[in-house]
Amino acid sequence: MNVMRQSPKGTIPSGTYRTGFASWRARTGGLSEWKLSGAVLESGRVVLDPGTAARGEDPCAPGSYEGGDFYNGGVFLVSEALGPELATSFAAAEAIPSWNADAPPGTWLEILLRARSAGTWTRWYNLGVWAADDSTVGRHSVKGQEDAEGVVRCDTLAVTRPADALQARVRLFSVRDGAVPALRFFSIAYSGAKGEARSAVAGDPYLWDRVIPGVPCSSQMVYPDGGDVWCSPTAVSMVLGYWRGETGDRESRVRAAVAGVRDRVYDGCGNWSFNAAYAGSPGYEAQVARFDSLARLEPWIASGIPVVMSVSWNAETGRPLSNAPVARSRGHLTLLVGFDRGGNPVMNEPAAKSDDEVRRIYPRAELEDRWLEASGGAVYLIFPEGRLTPELPGN
């Protein structure tokens, strides 16, 4: 299961936990705000332009980066898109990027973020080298990024001083004639320090007593060759199966998701951004977001959109999750599909021993606490492009 992230020590003041979100979509012209080098806009997408892209070479010797190549181990074409400076609506401590892109074999993307505090920008931090498949580049996060200004924990940038602005850079690469990558969507979820997350928002009983019908029930535990750590791709496979109307052959969907999200350096399937990138295949939009309470998820369920949640629990240390199929988890992805009459979350729980045991109900207060303290209220939101959705915080 996904390993729990820890935030760095710093000077972020305590206070009310807040979350924010910003996004740029090709279909609504949002990416036209980005500054391009070696790339062009086509149907609103940022597309590598082979005629003007720069030539580059992998800075690491072949096979020398964490047992593999940093990029492709050779030469390539590269272009860049620089996002606008995003003024945050409050002093931010953490940021998580998401992207949806078209990346045919022979192409890949690289994501970088930086933060501004009191007029001074941090350096650029690397939030991952991503490819849709591993035929050219093994997708991976980047280790060893910790300094006096911040730290990268797999998919999350945490800064040591409150940030008043964030900025992203996306680099697009190709090594194959006629194969060009294209960025369709980009977002940044930002928040206060995860450790400050506490809920003080009551739910709305009008939005209870409803469960989204037709969401497949898939257990991760039925796969002896690794299923016990496949919670995230299993949850994603249930959401995609729901939207596509696929009711049979759960195994092929789960295994496709495992192959599509695995992070070679993280050595697992729990990279939040990579899961969103996989789920955001053509026709779908997917992103990581953070919320400050379960009440904020009720409109999403009422709109018919299942929500993947990142949680952890351990009853022995005073962090129970009653009705969970295992006694403890350092970090886990589970799927919210509804609320019962009392406002308790109805789940499709991938950690169940079998597909028939996936559906279960958790006590509301326990799940909310385990979610907020574990991940700062992190979720995956996955839905068809153009679908009307509730507002995201700060969007």
Domain that holds residue 77: 19-196
pLDDT value of position 12? 42
pTM of the model: 0.95
**327: CATH:** 3.90.70.10
- Between strands 54-57 and 307-314, the pairing is unpaired
Domain-located, residue 314: yes
pLDDT grade for 248, boundaries at 50, 70 and 90: confident
- Between strands 107-117 and 120-121, the pairing is antiparallel
Whole-angstrom distance, CA of residue 367 vs CA of residue 186: 29
Domain count, the chain: 2
**Measured in whole angstroms, how far is the alpha carbon of residue 27 from the centre of its chain?**
21
- Do both 181 and 265 map to the same domain? no
Whether residue 13 is predicted with pLDDT greater than 50 in this model: the reply is no
Whether residue 5 is predicted with pLDDT greater than 50 in this model: the reply is no
Whether residue 193 is predicted with pLDDT greater than 60 in this model: the reply is yes
pLDDT grade for 3, boundaries at 50, 70 and 90: very low
- Do both 364 and 215 map to the same domain? yes
CA-nearest of 38, 70, 66 to 53 is: 38
pLDDT digits (tens, 9 = 90+) for 299-353: 999 999 999 999 999 999 999 999 999 999 999 999 999 999 999 999 999 999 9
pLDDT digits (tens, 9 = 90+) for 100-142: 999 999 999 999 999 999 999 999 999 999 999 999 999 999 9
Of 196, 216, 244, which one is at a domain's C-terminal end? 196
- Do both 310 and 357 map to the same domain? yes
Supply φ then ψ for residue 90, to 5 degrees. Answer: -160, 170
Whether residue 38 is predicted with pLDDT greater than 60 in this model: the reply is yes
pLDDT digits (tens, 9 = 90+) for 342-384: 999 999 999 999 999 999 999 999 999 999 999 999 999 999 9
Query: What's the chain's average pLDDT?
Result: 94
- Do both 101 and 144 map to the same domain? yes
- Do both 191 and 57 map to the same domain? yes
Give the Å distances, CA to CA, from 91 to 251, 311, 382: 43, 25, 27
Per-residue buried b or exposed e for 338-352, using 16+ beta carbons within 10 Å of the residue's own CB:
bbeeebbbbbbbbbb
Of 144, 173, 196, which one is at a domain's C-terminal end? 196
Domain-located, residue 11: no
Domain-located, residue 293: yes
Whole-angstrom distance, CA of residue 143 vs CA of residue 52: 31
- Do both 166 and 252 map to the same domain? no
Whether residue 206 is predicted with pLDDT greater than 60 in this model: the reply is yes
Beta bridge partners of 47: 40, 182
- Do both 166 and 26 map to the same domain? yes
- Do both 181 and 312 map to the same domain? no
What is the mean pLDDT of the segment spanning 295-302? Answer: 97
pLDDT grade for 16, boundaries at 50, 70 and 90: confident
- Do both 157 and 246 map to the same domain? no
pLDDT grade for 75, boundaries at 50, 70 and 90: very high
Whether residue 395 is predicted with pLDDT greater than 90 in this model: the reply is no
Whether residue 8 is predicted with pLDDT greater than 60 in this model: the reply is no
pLDDT value of position 11? 43
Of 196, 217, 239, which one is at a domain's C-terminal end? 196
Domain-located, residue 9: no
pLDDT digits (tens, 9 = 90+) for 208-236: 999 999 999 999 999 999 999 999 999 99
Domain-located, residue 390: no
Domain-located, residue 252: yes
What is the mean pLDDT of the segment spanning 11-22? Answer: 74
pLDDT grade for 195, boundaries at 50, 70 and 90: confident
**190: CATH:** 2.60.120
Which residue intervals of 223-297 are DSSP H helices?
Answer: 231-244, 250-261, 272-279
Domain-located, residue 79: yes
What is the mean pLDDT of the segment spanning 82-86? Answer: 98
- Do both 167 and 255 map to the same domain? no
What is the mean pLDDT of the segment spanning 87-93? Answer: 95
- Do both 252 and 176 map to the same domain? no
- Do both 186 and 330 map to the same domain? no
What is the mean pLDDT of the segment spanning 167-175? Answer: 98
pLDDT grade for 153, boundaries at 50, 70 and 90: very high
Cα distance from N-terminal residue to C-terminal residue, the chain: 30
Q: Which residue has the higher pLDDT, 328 or 3?
A: 328
Domain-located, residue 7: no
Whole-angstrom distance, CA of residue 61 vs CA of residue 59: 7
